[in-house]
Amino acid sequence: MDFTDKITEAKKQKPIQIFSKGHKEIGVNVIKSPVKLVILSMLKDNEMEFDEIVKNTGKSKSTISVHLKSLRNDGVISFKFDPDDQRRKIFYINSRFLGEIEPPEPFELEEQKTSFLLENIVNKEIDKDGKFNFSHLLFHTFRSTLIQEGFNINPILYESGRRIGLALYEQIKADDIDVFIKNLKEFWEDYGLGRLELKLGEKIEITAYDCFECGLLPKTGKPACYLDAGIIEATLSSFLKKEVKVIETKCFTMGDNCCVFEVETLE
């Protein structure tokens, strides 16, 4: 999706987005204004000068000024002066995107029904002592309820995954890459997260089968494994001693029979 498509999509959708108060404050900002949402969609990946914002939103300068001032007062965005022209302000997001709320589904998802939970978790995932996997039941019910109610907390899941990954790395770290990969794959299987296959190259490709995170979630057409992606990002960046970027290109919730993550290093 290119920059123009992102703006068009932001103008069509009317979610409520949630941002932190800023780097030094505690709390959240709930953004409902369609104009503010369009502005933030443009600034998520790019810093932007005032006149560019006006041009891309199609709104008047006075309207954009009001919204930019409001977002600045809330600590969501900030600005810096153009080093080549001190009269020009360049705006950027100054807080963390935490998630969004969209209108909830008008019907109960199949994946939330008691019959689905009984068939796929309670009666299916039984260990040698005859106990079902309560952690899986808890996680699945939590995620599917959020989807049902229109809550998207993917950024929080990703950050949670990163923190888990940093702690996990201490248990699976190794100097040799083959040993490290073996340890990672064994951990994934031993704790019921699924099965991993890794292909090394210019980009590292990780394929996950029997995915714990998304295997039973409804098909939304969007990737859902943000917790897994965060764990992968933290463990691989720790091993490589470089920042990495993780993108999920296939997912059960997109209609695929596995999840695929592409990992590339950031110079």
Beta carbons within 10 angstroms of residue 51's beta carbon: 12
Q: What are the structure tokens assigned to 92, written together?
A: 């950027």
Beta carbons within 10 angstroms of residue 27's beta carbon: 9
pLDDT tier, 169 (very low <50, low <70, confident <90, very high otherwise): very high
pLDDT at 14: 60
Q: Tens of pLDDT along 116-144?
A: 777 877 777 777 677 777 888 888 888 88
As a whole number, mean pLDDT of residues 58-68 equals 92
pLDDT at 66 over 80: yes
Judge if 13-99 and 104-265 fold alike in CATH terms. no
Residue 62 to residue 35: CA distance in whole angstroms: 13
Are the CB atoms for 99 and 155 separated by under 8 Å?
yes
Q: Tens of pLDDT along 73-116?
A: 888 999 999 888 888 899 999 888 888 887 666 667 787 787 87
Phi and psi at residue 20, in whole multiples of 5°?
-70, 165
**What CATH number is given for 104-265 in this structure?**
3.30.1380.20
Beta carbons within 10 angstroms of residue 2's beta carbon: 7
110 vs 189, which has greater pLDDT?
Answer: 189
Give me the residue spans of the domains in the chain: 13-99, 104-265
Fold designation for 13-99: Arc Repressor Mutant, subunit A (1.10.10)
